[in-house]
């Protein structure tokens, strides 16, 4: 039997049990067949972006056991077959280029190490594709790490090395504001008109050390500059498609996706409803406008602001996207550049109560597999989407760094 969880009647029961406790599962039109569950259990599933570290910082919970809230814990991961979630080392944009940003990043890495230390029979840090594969065979859930927002680098390549040594294997260059590396898709100031001078240097240094470049969150200009400079494929760890969310620059448009394909990279689809459908984005804009109107009318001290979003949702129900709409994003990438360039970057624990019907938590991956089967994807292609494509890019980045290091050593010896 291939894989981490031998599939038995017990495994099927556990999967069904936890699926029944997922939000909206009782009313969901989605259900996974035994075949879909089997594929999910027997295949490495890499999720490019899960915000567990910041979740447990804000309010500590023990995710090595079942938890009441959130989108991730060990039992649900086992149920869904998730076995290589990238833990997001997220640093807020407000801390850019400061000692505080670097300290927070190290603290969040500490928290991932603490999760593994509490349950070494369940989890293990993964620093390479080979780690993921060997830990999968041992029945462990791998925890590779990606840094969301390059602010903790502080313009110092020694910090880049330190974070690499601690296990950071991708860096999202910016977040919600321009930082000392790159412009952000959310920041209209366009401080650097793409990458900063240091950011352009950092692209090469990340190539050389073996850290994947993540272009989620950056501006369009920054994306194209990264593509021009990088020597290896890049990833979008948690982005979806602008075709379905017109005007939302945080997502990628068709021309960018084509460039990503030429680069050999992978776009990992974000599940958040506002990333998936334009209706959810419009709802969020309506909420913001309504809140602004209330503040203008009654001031920042209005008691109506305390539960404003909750009350707004009662009057204007949130238009949750669906698993089918997530699949539309995957289909479109495949149509544009092929099945070798799409993956999963759910943003679980990072997008709040905006997850699609059918994909409410990490126990839902069999539903995704079922959807892919229903749309005619082969098992080989499903395995590429679930992990193969990301592991390929990660291996290419690792191989390039190794070749660079060997070449540097040979040249250094020859010059002396």
Q: How far apart are CA 371 and CA 271, in angstroms?
A: 14
User: For the chain, which residues make up each domain, given as ranges?
Assistant: 9-277+319-415
Q: How many CA atoms lie within 13 A of 153 on its CB side?
A: 29
Per-residue pLDDT tens digits for 191-223? 999 999 999 999 999 999 999 999 999 999 999
Among all chains, which residue has been given the structure tokens 């209330």?
294
Q: How far apart are CA 93 and CA 184, in angstroms?
A: 10
DSSP 245: S
- Report CA torsion sign: 386, 392, 394, 395: positive
CATH number of 9-277+319-415: 3.20.20.140
Per-residue pLDDT tens digits for 273-304? 999 999 998 999 999 999 999 999 999 999 99
Please tell me the predicted confidence (pLDDT) of residue 415: 58
Please tell me the predicted confidence (pLDDT) of residue 407: 73
pTM (2 d.p.): 0.90
Q: How far apart are CA 224 and CA 126, in angstroms?
A: 30
Q: Which residues pair with 38 in a beta bridge?
A: none
Q: Are strands 235-236 and 141-143 parallel, antiparallel or unpaired?
A: unpaired
Please tell me the predicted confidence (pLDDT) of residue 12: 39
Per-residue pLDDT tens digits for 93-126? 999 999 999 999 999 999 999 999 999 999 999 9
Q: How far apart are CA 326 and CA 338, in angstroms?
A: 17
Q: What angle in degrees, to the nearest 10, is found between the helix axes of 220-229 and 197-209?
A: 50
Per-residue pLDDT tens digits for 127-137? 999 999 999 99
């Amino acid at each position: 039997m291939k894989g981490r969880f031998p599939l038995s009647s017990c495994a099927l029961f556990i999967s069904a049990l936890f699926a029944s406790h997922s939000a909206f599962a009782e009313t969901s039109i989605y259900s996974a067949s035994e075949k879909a569950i089997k594929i999910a259990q027997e295949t490495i599933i890499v999720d490019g972006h899960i915000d567990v570290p910041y979740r447990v910082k804000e309010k500590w919970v023990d995710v090595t056991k079942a938890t009441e809230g959130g989108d991730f814990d060990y039992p649900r991961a086992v149920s869904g077959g998730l076995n290589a979630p990238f833990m997001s080392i997220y640093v807020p944009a407000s801390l850019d280029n400061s000692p505080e940003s670097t300290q927070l990043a190290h603290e969040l890495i500490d928290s991932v190490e603490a999760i593994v230390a509490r349950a070494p029979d369940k989890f293990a840090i993964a620093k390479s594709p080979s780690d993921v594969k060997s830990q999968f065979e041992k029945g462990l859930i791998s925890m590779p790490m990606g840094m969301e927002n390059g602010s903790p680098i502080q313009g110092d390549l020694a910090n880049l090395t330190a974070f690499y040594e601690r296990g950071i294997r991708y860096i999202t260059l910016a977040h919600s504001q321009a930082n000392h590396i790159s412009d952000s898709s959310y920041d209209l100031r366009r401080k650097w008109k793409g990458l900063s001078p240091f950011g352009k240097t950092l692209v090469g240094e990340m190539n050389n050390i073996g850290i994947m470049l993540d272009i989620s969150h950056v501006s369009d200009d920054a994306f194209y500059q990264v593509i021009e400079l990088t020597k290896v494929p890049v990833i979008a760890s948690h982005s979806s498609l602008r075709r379905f969310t017109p005007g939302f620059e945080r997502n990628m448009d068709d021309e960018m996706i084509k460039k990503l394909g030429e680069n050999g990279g992978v776009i990992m689809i974000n599940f958040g409803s506002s990333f998936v459908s334009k209706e959810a984005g419009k709802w969020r804009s309506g909420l913001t406008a309504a809140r602004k109107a209330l503040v203008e009318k009654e001031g920042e001290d209005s008691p109506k602001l305390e539960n404003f979003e909750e009350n707004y949702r009662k009057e204007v129900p949130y238009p949750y996207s669906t698993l089918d709409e997530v699949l539309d994003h995957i289909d479109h990438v495949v149509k544009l550049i092929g099945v070798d360039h799409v993956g999963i970057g759910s943003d679980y624990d990072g997008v709040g109560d905006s997850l699609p019907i059918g994909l409410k938590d990490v126990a839902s991956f069999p539903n995704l597999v079922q959807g892919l089967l229903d749309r005619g994807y082969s098992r080989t292609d499903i395995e590429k989407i679930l992990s193969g494509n990301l592991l390929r890019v990660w291996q290419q980045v690792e191989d390039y760094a190794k070749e660079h290091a060997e070449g540097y050593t040979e040249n250094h010896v020859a010059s002396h």
